[in-house]
Structure 1
């Protein structure tokens, strides 16, 4: 994904997560006196998870806007290592079959 599309997608994700968090906070405020303790705890847990997602999306967006790849070079390196390992295994098996 190119940089502009990545930044735009992260911005959209951030907006959606912010809206969802606002709606959840409103729901908690409006109904907190009607809800059971377990339900309130679940809603607070959801709020915490949404805040974590929001923080992660903000950091990814900042990295993408700075020109860094949010996926990162580590993932590319891992894919290359897996591909190289697969090729070496195929060559090794071919040599074993040829020798037998």
Structure 2
């Protein structure tokens, strides 16, 4: 049987991680609202249905990163690097590199 002390120490690293992420990613509720609004806008475009899966996923991942920028620390360079990385993955696929 697991006692309460074991549970609290097991989840302590998770709580620490969540606190760290909150400082860079912002409030999860805000991030989710911004991200879903951007994704909804993308999906409502006339071109959405003609996009390839990798293009849709790239746009959705970029929306996710923009949500973090808007809700969290806009100067956290990892957000911006991730956006460029996802865009490069799709650009490379379209160019036949990947």
Common fold, TM-score beyond 0.5? no
Question: TM-score normalised to the size of structure 2?
Answer: 0.36
More helix by share: 1
Question: Which of structures 1 and 2 has the bigger CA Rg?
Answer: 1
Structure with the bigger RCO (C-alpha within 8 Å, sep 6+) is 1
